[in-house]
Structure 1
Amino acid sequence: MISTIHPSDNEGMSRVRALLEKEGIRMDVNIDYTCAVFDESHQIIATGSCYANTLRCLAVDDEHQRQGLMHKVLTHLMSVQEERGNSSVFLYTKGSTAPFFCSLGFYEIARVSDTIVFLENQQHGFSDYLKNLQEETGDRHGMSAAIILNANPFTYGHLYLVEQAAAENELLHLFVVSEDVSFFPYDVRERLVREGTAHLKNIVYHATGPYMISQATFPSYFQKDEDSSIRSHAQLDIAVFSRIAQVLSITRRYVGEERASHVTSLYNDTMMHNLPLSGIECRIIRRKETEGAPISASTVRHAIQTGNMDILPALVPPTTLSYLQSEESAPIRRNLMEAANVIHY
């Protein structure tokens, strides 16, 4: 029998965790639904989880392999995704198990050798996304670069990076992370990016869609440690981005220098080494500073949290400042003031 394991079921979750560990998998920190298959003795012999429209933490006890249990778990999780209204579903797995999931209707988007394979259930999902990027670009050509921004929210630091890239290239593809795991929702972040860069006429704006994910939701459950997870995420990002760059003729990617965050620093180092292997130059731009400190979105969020709104004019463009001072932003400001931690990368 297959059952839902609720987060409040400490014993059930502990048994799920034990099965995962037995099969060499860590419980992922980002999970919003878990199920398990029980045998006649009420022992968990298979499990799987969801986070948003992704499947993760899939495992079958090695003593019960080849009994169709993974197919049962996958069918159940896909019905959960259907109930959520998700027609596009994504899955991360090891290279050794990718053929199995491909046989069940998943298609490979990108891989990092045999470490991690990124799959989706739509055969033409990624190719349709690439076509959409081409349509958004139209007939604009020239030396092309790219920046991927979360902009949580858009700051003078982001603006400085964008202006540098726009000045050094004929065309700049500016991707805004559309994954909603930030304090500021996508529609707000995207609007503030557009408003803050409206004076630059050689920008094409894109949403990242579901193909470029954040470190916050990257599945780390089959990575041996945090650094391995960061490197794998960067390598998968590069594998996906390289296909996008090929379609849009992008030859440069710009990122901001990071001295305070180990995560971002390791990510940038991986890109510096790997992007040139795909014919893409990686340009790391020194961060814009104010009063000797780098301007960052974390600093802005902390200022809002602590009620130090007077420093915002030095940190954000007028368009962002106007939004932060508006009644529209009041719910977000309240969330920031009540949050336990707003300093993250």
Structure 2
Amino acid sequence: MYTEREIIIELPREYKKLQEFLNSQGLQVPLNMDYAYGFYHGSEIIACGALVGDMLQGIAVRPDYHQEGMAAKVVSQLMKKAIELGRENLYIITKPTEICSFISLGFKEVAIAQPFAALLEWGQEKIKDFRDNLKKIAQGKPQEAACIVMNANPFTLGHLHLIEVAAQSSPWLYVLVVEEEKSLFPFKVRLDLIKKGTSGINNLTIVPGGKYVVSSLTFPSYFTREEDLAKAHASLDLEIFIQHIAPSLKIKTRYVGQEPYCPVTSVYNQVMADLLPKNGLIMEEIPRLMVNNKIISASTVRQLIREDKFSELKDFLPESTYQYLMSSAAQSIIKRIKTSEGRH
């Protein structure tokens, strides 16, 4: 026999038990959990799961209970709680071998990145809405377009150089801007700086990335081993690009900048170089722009801000980005940069 109840994650002993159980199943504890639920044999967790925003995460079942439908029971409880909270669309990242368990509960496949991860959604088909919106954007625009995905935290002369090279070589260029709010520069600011910095380029459309471009949905960090993390992230994100984004925008070529600093982005580019040609797409890797023997990068710009070297920023930034950083509107962001240590 077993019992079931909410796991009170605010209680240290409850959180520790959840952490120990997930670790024993090769999983990490999800960050920013709103709600967790568990099935118990005595005082020991035998199955659990968590709700994080609109995502179901940390779903695990002890091996000797796999035949008792525990995963479905956990997911059903999390879905019930999500509906109570008014969340009409839910997402789950699972292993490809586990897809059937969730399809039977009404989830639909968005993308599969073998052997790492599959992204599923429940509720309205948001991926269909996303595709339809991209198709509307692409109406009347040329075939064999090009694409760049960028965060631009903030928008630099390096970003501008990449866009100019791609635009000069393409009938039309789409810049998909990462919308996830995990950067020091908010999305609306990043989007505005890209638009202002590229105002003179005529064959260009700037598109918010939404949930399906380098977002939490495409980062299966909570169930992969550390050494596979970057590859799993890249594979799932690129499968969504290949299956949904490229066909909708009539994209033939994806441009990227060389990545000398960030290991995760470097792995991402390596996976892209493997996957895109296999699916009839082209990847073009462009050398980074340099000034005074320094590679121009957003991380370098943020470091100059931390060190109060504002006089050096002009060498790295379009005039519109520089003027923004000199304005009162940027002061709160500058304060955040000075107290942060992360790469983004």
Correspondent of 1:9 among 11, 23, 32: 11
Match of residue 143 from structure 1: 144
What is the CA–CA distance in structure 2 between the aligned matches of 1:288 and 1:84, rounded to whole Å? 48
**Which residue matches 1:218?**
219
CA shift for structure 1 position 15: 1.6
RMSD value over aligned CA atoms? Answer: 2.1
Partner amino acid for 1:260? Y
CA drift at 1:99: 0.8
Find the aligned partners of 1:78 and 1:148 in 2 and give their Cα distance. 32
Distance 1:325 1:77, change over 3 A: farther
Determine helix, strand or coil for the equivalent of 2:127: helix
Q: Where in structure 2 are the equivalents of 1:274-289 lying within 5 Å?
A: 274-289=275-290
Secondary structure of the structure 2 residue equivalent to 1:254: strand
Cα deviations by residue, 1:96-127 (Å, 9 ceiling, x for unpaired): 11111111111101101242111111352212
Q: Answer with 208-217 or 291-300: which moved more.
A: 208-217
- Structure 1 residues 129-138 or 250-259, which shifts more? 129-138
The residue that corresponds to 2:204 in the other structure is 203
Q: Which amino acid aligns with 1:120?
A: E
Structure 2 length as normaliser, TM-score?
A: 0.91
**Matched residue of 2:246: which SS?**
helix
Q: What letter is aligned with 1:239?
A: E
Compute the displacement of 1:203 (Å).
0.8
**What's the counterpart of residue 22 of structure 1?**
24
**2:265 matched residue in structure 1:** 264
Contact 1:145/1:171 (CA < 8 Å) preserved in 2? yes
CA contact (8 A) 2:30 2:52 kept: no
Look up the match of 1:152.
Answer: 153
**1:173 deviation in Å?**
1.0
Cα distance in 2 between the residues matched to 1:309 and 1:83: 50
Q: Relative to structure 1, is the Cα distance of residues 211 and 327 closer, same or farther in structure 2, using a 3 angstrom cutoff?
A: same
- Counterpart-to-counterpart distance in 2, 1:66 and 1:305: 55
Query: What per-residue deviation string (whole Å, max 9, x for no partner) do you get for residues 124-155 of structure 1?
Result: 22122111011122211143100001111111
Check the 8 A contact 1:302/1:342 in 2, yes or no. no
Q: Give me the whole-angstrom Cα distance separating, in 2, the residues matched to 1:264 and 1:191.
A: 24
CA offset digits 1:3-55 (Å, max 9, x no partner): 2332x5333222212222333x2215634335132436232222112333222
Cα contact 1:107–1:123 (8 A) shared by 2: no
Deviations 1:304-345 (A, max 9, x none): 222222211111111111211111122111111222x1435x
Q: Report the AA paired with residue 255 of structure 1.
A: V
SS in 2 for 1:330: helix
The verdict on how the C-alpha distance between 1:61 and 1:29 changes in structure 2, with shifts beyond 3 A counting, is closer
Judge conservation of contact 1:149–1:174 (CA < 8 Å) in 2.
yes
Partner of 1:235: 235
Structure 2 counterpart of 1:303? 304
SS of the residue 1:221 aligns to: coil
Matched residue, 1:49: 50
| Secondary structure of the structure 1 residue equivalent to 2:256 | strand
- State percent identity of aligned pairs: 33
- Classify 1:29/1:43 alpha carbon distance in 2 versus 1 (closer, same or farther; 3 Å): closer
Distance 1:217 1:236 in 2: 6
User: 5+ residue gaps in structure 2?
Assistant: none
Take 1:66 and 1:3, find their aligned partners in 2: how far apart are those partners?
Answer: 22
TM-score when scaled to structure 1? 0.91
Deviant stretches of 4+, over 6 Å: none
Query: Structure 1 regions of 5+ residues with no counterpart?
Result: none
Query: How far apart are 1:217 and its partner, in Å?
Result: 7.2
Q: Which residue of 2 aligns with 1:190?
A: 191
CA distance 1:87–1:306, change in 2 (3 Å): farther
